[in-house]
Amino acid sequence: MENLILKIEHLSHRYSTAWAIRDINLQINQTGIVGLLGSNGAGKSTTMNIMCGVLNQTEGNVFIDGIDLRKQPEAAKKLIGFLPQTPPLYLDLTVDEFLTHCAWLRLVEKDKIKAALADAKDRCGITHFSNRLIKNLSGGYRQRVGIAQAIIHRPKLVVLDEPTNGLDPNQIVEVRSLIREIARERAVIFSSHVLSEVQVLCSSITMIEGGNIVFADTMDAFNNYVEPHSVLLNLHNPPAADEISALPGVTKVNFLTERQVRVYFNGDQEITERLIEASVSGGWQLREITMDRSSIDEIFAQLSNKPFIKK
């Protein structure tokens, strides 16, 4: 466990008679951003609430930096920072008043609170709003205050649930930058159902669907999980569309320009070889061939219905 900040073993939870999650196993290293992906009702929130000590699991174990969360909750929770989907802000307090309150709740030593506040505000870019009432802040800066309360005690693991939800494009870019900065020194779990957000920020991904992990691997592996469905050809002397359509495995041919052709196929792994051979024998003068990958949304849809986890 020496390089792990989070280890989850055979985690299951049941509400009444229905299982929300079943046999979740997950390991996260000390630094970096891990995407926790899943549709609404997939089990993401249950998993996060358990790993942050908000909810006691029915079965299984959670270890934070080697500490059993159930047996030593206070010691384990000192290492965790959590930002729920709706930031727990007291709108009638100033930024300093709220963060001081959070520092006390997080058991920061009295003589270290001032330094902890200064550090959290500086990292989140809210120092100039120290005496501003939270209710008078924009949505983007409220979210920054929410992130500040999650790191005020310098935790080793930060869990962010939909941190860019409801923000405008400029605010999203700013919060992304902040999350990357935080992840340089600690592990960040970034939960979202917005696939593009996970794709931009995360180096690895865990996907939960129907209460089970259906994917756990790097972002590159996730993007490449579904085989390509089309190839783009650049031909100096292209043939008629019918000639390309006659090749085994080809399902459709679209000429994008006079010399650029998109060829759709049925998943046949030998399609590129066939196209290259046909180009040579037919004198098509192939200049370039590019494989198109399925969109991240298509991958998500397929994984939602096809359990898969790379060992």
The domains found in the chain, sorted by start residue, are: 4-223 (3.40.50.300), 230-292 (3.30.70)
Q: How many CB atoms lie within 10 A of CB 68?
A: 13
Tell me if the pTM is above 0.75: yes
Lowest model confidence (mean pLDDT) among 121-125, 133-137, 161-165? 161-165
Lowest model confidence (mean pLDDT) among 37-46, 180-189, 260-269? 260-269
Q: Are 147 and 140 in contact (CB under 8 A)?
A: no
Tokens 């923000």, located at residue: 167
Q: Where residue 304 falls among pLDDT bands split at 50, 70, 90? A: low
Task: State the alpha helices, DSSP H only, in the chain.
Answer: 44-51, 73-77, 95-105, 113-124, 139-151, 169-183, 195-201, 219-223, 241-245, 271-282, 296-304
- For residue 80, the surrounding DSSP H or E stretch is strand 80-83
Mean pLDDT in the chain? 88
pLDDT computed for residue 231 by the predictor: 86
What share of the chain has pLDDT > 70, as a percent?
A: 93
Q: Is the pLDDT of residue 86 over 90?
A: no
